[in-house]
Structure 1
Amino acid sequence: MTTSLDPGSTIFFTLTIDGQDLGLFNGCEGLASEVDVETHEEGGNNGFVWQLPSRVRFSNIRLTRPLTADTAKVAAWISTVATGIQRPTAQIAALRADGSIVARWGLLDVLPVRWQGPTLDPASPAVATEVLEIAHHGFTVAGA
């Protein structure tokens, strides 16, 4: 009997910016794109309306994790924006619990657009978390 890997066992993600590892994240949302469509009604053709692709839009990606020592790596990357905008490439990899890769997404022209640190309240028993939001100009081919 062959053993198949459970695709639902993805539990964490890695983020690398131009090869620099920014650590592990346990949440990732916004890996999406959308094609804007323009319609064109052709004279004499009443059977359908042409739907033509125009612009591709990519949503921002939000990565979340409990506060770790890797927060300093994220802060260092964000601080580089103040010295001049460089738009590096990035890679997000989805990993199983054993560290094996489920999938990878390459991202073009990445820019940090928001970082939210933890709310430190001694009256709250919640885990201190951080959220990193990044913008990009599209996906690249990234093999697993």
Structure 2
Amino acid sequence: MADDSSTGFYPPLGFYFQVNIPGIQGINEGSFQEVSGLNIKLGKEDIKEGGENRFVHRLPSRPQYENLVLKRGMVTGSGLLDWIKAAAEEFTFTPKNVMVILMDNMSGSQLVSWQFNNAYPVSYQVSPFKSQEGAIVVETVELCYDYFQRMPS
């Protein structure tokens, strides 16, 4: 198997990452246990041509992005919660460029990063409380954004 990374491991492990949201700082602000939603799909537009009954032209259209989903153990009193509260209660949206950075678990250096442009919170959820389980309370934040791009290393 060819070695495609600078660390000698291929593929990279997905458990060591950071989330940076400019203007939202503090202890545990970038600490998340899960990040998902790094998905892009090209849309398609069907064009029917008059007189051509064998097929429909399928042309590419604008890309569609899923929401960025961040999960972590619940933190009481944080800048992230203030940002969410401003959006939900005051209907004040302050978009931010969110960075998700995959780190090398051996050296701690950055392997690859993605920038989510003009992101803002659209959903906040707290996991159920269950007296039969000793589970950690998890908060889930969903961010909507214009587009994301993979940044050069």
TM-score interval, smaller chain: 0.7 to 0.9
Deviation at 1:103, TM superposition (A): 2.0
2:94 and 2:17 map into 1 onto residues whose CA distance is 23
Asked whether the 8 Å contact 2:45–2:61 carries over to 1, the reply is yes
2:53 and 2:129 map into 1 onto residues whose CA distance is 63
C-alpha distance 54-9 of structure 1, shift in aligned 2 (>3 A): closer
Q: Which residue of 1 aligns with 2:144?
A: 135
Q: Which residue of 2 aligns with 1:115?
A: 124
C-alpha distance 135-83 of structure 1, shift in aligned 2 (>3 A): closer
After superposition, what is the alpha-carbon deviation per residue over 1:60-80, rounded to whole angstroms, capped at 9, x for unaligned?
A: 1111122357x6131122233
**Counterparts in 2 of 1:1-144, with a 5 A limit?**
4-18=8-22, 20-21=24-25, 22-43=29-50, 49-68=56-75, 72-81=78-87, 82=90, 84-98=92-106, 99-121=108-130, 123-144=132-153
- Structure 2 residues without counterparts, runs of 5 or longer: 1-5
C-alpha distance 7-78 of structure 1, shift in aligned 2 (>3 A): same
Deviation at 1:128, TM superposition (A): 2.4
Deviation at 1:96, TM superposition (A): 3.8
Identical aligned pairs, as a percentage? 25
Asked whether the 8 Å contact 2:21–2:30 carries over to 1, the reply is no
C-alpha distance 64-12 of structure 1, shift in aligned 2 (>3 A): farther
2:137 and 2:103 map into 1 onto residues whose CA distance is 22
TM-score by length of 1: 0.77
1:44 and 1:34 map into 2 onto residues whose CA distance is 31
2:7 and 2:63 map into 1 onto residues whose CA distance is 39
- Structure 1 residues without counterparts, runs of 5 or longer: none
> What RMSD over aligned residues (CA atoms) do the two structures have, in Å?
2.8
